Structure 1
Amino acid sequence: GGTPTGNGSTSNSQVIQVVAAENFYGDIVKQLGGSHVAVTSILSNPNVDPHEYESNVQTAIAVSKAQLVVENGNGYDAWMDRLLSASPNNSRVVLVGANIADHKLPDNPHVWYGIENMPAIAQAITAALKKLDTADASTFDSNLATFRQSLILLEQKIREINKKYRGTPVALTETIYLYQAVPEGLAMLTPFDFQKAIAEGNDPPADTVIEANNQITRKEVKILIYNAQTVTPITTNLQNKAKNLNIPVVPVSETMPPGKTYQTWMIDQLNTLQLSLATATGK
């Protein structure tokens, strides 16, 4: 029951308590839930390596009270699984981005970087919100339509980059950017085993380190796409070599920077990439 008021809320609807393991999922929940959700995002600092996160008491309390939890899964945020099992709750809805994503790359948990994964993830979040607050279902549906519409700009930008720069040889410090580099048609020269090791916080095989360095010193790559969050002496060295040779370095972050939405974060990075490709190729 409850009569809908002008702002799309109802007199009997309560605010859904949500915990997101990462702030980009938290932002998407806010866009989809509007005033009907209160979101706590745990990983929200783009200057901290997410792989080194340790949960604390506040986090545990937030998870224990949450009606909806959104995590990435696929080993990316295993600490969240520990928090969930520490406070069992049958009525809590848990969504795992990597299990919902329908365009998954092998050995690569960074599904939120795949713009084409977001409709399915947003759809699942919307379904959960409707289940927890049926009175506001129509608001959630309309927010979902708005969100999906907003992804078109990102999809167009990726197509634009593909059209102009397809086949351009690039270096990547880790696997996170493959979710955009693949649809952009860029030729990723850095050995996959190097990228995967850096992404997982391990030492890359020695031969791949030599190869990644040689690709830069020989100027076989036009740009270096650099994860500014998982920084190691090896990746710092690559970045310095690239800068010394005037190879543009394009920083990307795993965690959404403050003051951004998912969409503005992604479009800003895509614009930076496009400018760097233009500089590097003269196209």
Structure 2
Amino acid sequence: MTSRRRAASTALAGLAATAVALTACGTGEQAAPGADDKIKVVASTSVWGSVVQAVGGDAVEVESIVSDPSADPHSYESTPQDAAKVTDAHLVVFNGGGYDEFIEQILGSGNQKPTVEAVKDEHEGEQNGHEGHGDQPAAPEEHGHEGHGDQPAAPEEHGHEGHDHSVNEHVWYDLHVVHEVADQVATELGKLQPAKAEQFRQAAGQFEAEVGALEGKVGEIAAANQGKPVIVTEPVAHYLVEAAGLQDVTPQSFVKAIEAETDPSAAAVAEIQNAINAKQAVAVIYNPQTESPVTRNVRTAAEQNQIQVVEMTETLPEGKTYVQWMDTQIAALQNALNQNR
């Protein structure tokens, strides 16, 4: 959801298309790695840790702070051990946008080092910034994802009709963003070990080719299911739903309650239950990591009405890479939609 960690008035300018804002600062408290040393990278979640591993390979040692498949990163509270890991890292990769605010807080307490941030709140960067992170310009306002094939540029605002999704931090479901993060990781690793810069660049290219194949599958879904209605228990997969050409018809009253971190009112619950009972959606996209009695009831109602339920989560299942995980979820969505042809 989009405001679990911060008031919704904090605007993330052009979030999905902004993709990556990179802040490079001094070497901080950790000396640069030697040519034969592993580069120590801390990632906020296993999602970004997997991206780093794909690019860095055997040259990196990746520590993902939130890696429990059942954990909710929104509510994670960091420990002194986490701060120590960040201090010891050569590079920190995190989501940004307030999603993994614990990383931002650790960095803001004097842990100056190279970082890759998937989302950059331009307003926050202007006001707060991580001092010492360099004088990088704010992310540009126009982002057409040039070079990523014939995909249309992402719109500046990603709100479904009647829904406020202008602040949606789940950018790992925007495959263009993941491309950009891989590129930036390769760049930063190459700075830390210049002799391996080309190796990192090639690995990033291979990873991006795999992500491109995922984009092709999403394009197939869009071509066959344009405009089909879905209901979501939380907008975790907002960007994927959008890229797949699906229409999010979740009742606005329910969405607003979820995004405000409040229990939906009886009227809001009744509205979503009525939508499901009337079979207004062909699938329900369900996030088990933010499960509550209300969302469980939504799932039960969907199953009783023979509406397909597709699970989409916030972190990787154990033993899965980012590409494997996303491929499984995209396939599940495609299979669910095929059931309703």
Instruction: Work out whether the TM-score is over 0.5.
Output: yes
Q: Which residue of 2 aligns with 1:14?
A: 37
Q: Which residue of 1 aligns with 2:235?
A: 175
Q: Which residue of 2 aligns with 1:29?
A: 52
Matched ranges for 1:66-215 at <5 A: 66-86=89-109, 88-90=110-112, 92-99=113-120, 105=158, 106-192=166-252, 194-195=254-255, 197-198=257-258, 201-204=261-264, 207-215=267-275
Displacement of 1:275 in angstroms is 1.0
| Conserved? CA contact 2:231–2:285, under 8 Å | yes
Q: Which residue of 2 aligns with 1:52?
A: 75
| Conserved? CA contact 2:49–2:64, under 8 Å | yes
Larger deviation: 192-201 or 113-122?
Answer: 192-201
1:263 matched to 2:330? no
Amino acid at match of 2:38: V
| Conserved? CA contact 2:45–2:315, under 8 Å | yes
Query: Helix, strand or coil for the counterpart of 2:314?
Result: coil
Q: Which residue of 1 aligns with 2:294?
A: 234
Q: Report the CA distance shift for 1:230/1:200 in structure 2 as closer, same or farther (over 3 A).
A: farther
Q: Which residue of 2 aligns with 1:254?
A: 314
Displacement of 1:199 in angstroms is 5.2
Q: Which residue of 2 aligns with 1:41?
A: 64
Displacement of 1:137 in angstroms is 0.6
Q: Which residue of 2 aligns with 1:3?
A: none
Aligned partner (choices 210, 219, 227) of residue 279 of structure 2: 219
Q: Report the CA distance shift for 1:276/1:69 in structure 2 as closer, same or farther (over 3 A).
A: same
**Which of the two has greater helix per residue?**
1
Displacement of 1:206 in angstroms is 5.3
* 1:201-245 deviation per Cα after TM superposition (whole angstroms, max 9, x unaligned): 433465443322211011111111101111112111101111111
Q: Which residue of 1 aligns with 2:13?
A: none
Distance 2:338 2:60 in 1: 42
Distance 1:51 1:63 in 2: 19
Q: Gapped runs of 5+ residues in structure 2?
A: 1-33, 121-138, 144-153, 159-165
Distance 1:72 1:200 in 2: 21
Q: Gapped runs of 5+ residues in structure 1?
A: 1-10
Q: Report the CA distance shift for 1:49/1:196 in structure 2 as closer, same or farther (over 3 A).
A: farther
| Conserved? CA contact 2:45–2:73, under 8 Å | no
Displacement of 1:58 in angstroms is 2.2
Instruction: For CA contacts below 8 A with separation 6 or more, give which structure has more relative contact order.
Output: 2
Moved segments of 4+, more than 6 Å: none
Distance 2:197 2:59 in 1: 11
| Conserved? CA contact 2:236–2:314, under 8 Å | yes
Query: Helix, strand or coil for the counterpart of 1:14?
Result: coil
Scaled by the length of structure 2, the TM-score of the pair is: 0.74
| Conserved? CA contact 2:67–2:316, under 8 Å | yes
| Conserved? CA contact 1:176–1:199, under 8 Å | no
Query: Helix, strand or coil for the counterpart of 2:119?
Result: helix
